[in-house]
Structure 1
Amino acid sequence: MFTRSLRTISLNASAFQSSRVALRSSFRAYSKFPNNAKPESEKSNHSNGSNGSSNSNNGSGQKSSPFSKGYVLTALGLLVVGSTVASAVYTKQEPRSAPEPATPAFSDKDISVIFVLGGPGSGKGTQCAKLVKDKGFVHLSAGDLLRAEQVREGSSDGALIAKCIKEGTIVPQEVTVRLLRNAVSENVKKGNFKFLVDGFPRKMDQALTFEEQIVKSSFTLFFECPEQVMLNRLLERGKTSGRADDNIESIKKRFKTFVETSMPVVEYFDKQGKVVKLSCDEPVDVVYGRVKDALVKRGIN
């Protein structure tokens, strides 16, 4: 595809400047003559002593000067000519190719990616672990990848990740997407083609970038759970997990962030018919049974 060719007027600087100089000179010359100035030939025609009290073209008694009018016409002519020359030169911009859309690294016909979303403590990790065991999925937890990168020796993003985790905010998408892309690539080389991406995408830009750069998702598993239930689960987990974000202050920030940034992602995919909503305020095995049924309906055994 090509954009429409554009013609842009390019002023010829030297021509325009020359016109301005000529016009200025004409006005200077004109200003040296009085309004009734005449050329010598006209004066000689009236040297017979005519009283000059009247003029057939002017009843006021003041004689007009064709000589002065000539200067005005000359000045106007130079202005018109200069403008025409200045605007006549144009350059034609060559048509440019429209930017090519980003091509994902993998085709959704070759690999399958299921996003697993839900509030903190909704049980995403528990359900993913069961699917890994029974269905041979590779479980990619965005949180686990970020925590591993945080403590990796020589990591340039470790301090930033630690700060985001502590404050309950979202790590910049370029960091998370890079870690996920590397993890997917490494597993594809090993012959693994089914992925559960847990806790990602958490923002719209993450969702769009992942599908543009890595692969389009098959669908999203969304675990719905009351906030109080999630809070109780996280506080209980915090007693043994050792995670810096399993404290009441960080948990509340994470809840707020999820509602404000992650729910729009769920709604975005839901409009495409790519969301399976599951209540997780029930025993783990009951929820897992519903998860397996959802996969079968989507053609994933």
Structure 2
Amino acid sequence: MSPTVAVVAHRKKTLGAGLDRLRVLITEQDVGELLWYEVPKSKKARKKVRQALKEGADLVFVWGGDGMVQRCADVLAGSGVPMAILPAGTGNLFATNLGLPIDLEETVRIGFHGRRERLDLGLLNGEHFAVMAGAGFEAEMIADADGQAKRRLGKLSYVRAAVRHVGGPLVPMTIEVDGTTWFDDQASCLLLGNVGTIAGGIEAFDDARPDDGWLEVGVSTAQGPVQWARVIGRMATGRSEESPFVRITRARKVSARFGAPLTYELDGGEREATTKIDAEAVPGALTICLPPEPPA
């Protein structure tokens, strides 16, 4: 029996010859029913994914960037229905970390004929994320790197945003990892990672894997341009843990309390400021379509 295939697309994002070409490529495959949903912004995607699952989708193509992927993964988590990513966003960190090409024809082929793998997600304050979550400096930087700047400047948009926020204050933080107090001091940034490469192409967590059942945890006490330049320099050379302004560990569960409300983000999407974060790794939560394994 031919599969029911759903497409959930951010209509303002572009890849290859566009959504019309995507429809043609899908209809060239052995497809039963095609469910097609377009949304004007990523936060409207959850409702469409729920509808697709209700209508019996066997495979869900997600057209957009990390924000779209995050919203859709939040609904697909635990369903067993595979997600095929069509990386059409200004930020495609999850796709890049997974080795997916920025190529429409090839990613459609991977969706239908690639291997299926179950990968971890993070769960923060009740919402899943695929790449990273953060509070403090990093979240403020991402919120400030608006979409237009990202399209025009790419990684430089994050650098420009970072420069505007390096003078921000340190905030008291108490962070527990797996039930034990790990950090109790002032800090400028808390970062949780499911993969290694984060916003701006920075390699924040050298050993991160999205299939190991762990969240990477980083906290920075850097303040001001000189200290942050040293931190980013160490990250750029893959030696984050050697910075005197960074502590890194990993955990199954993380609980953080802040002395003042901090903006936080999930996969590049800003959320309202909060004084507490509760997060955990969710092993094997998302079934994803990946390129075939290379021959041994």
Larger radius of gyration: 1
Q: TM-score, normalised by structure 1?
A: 0.21
The structure in which a higher percent of residues are strand is: 2
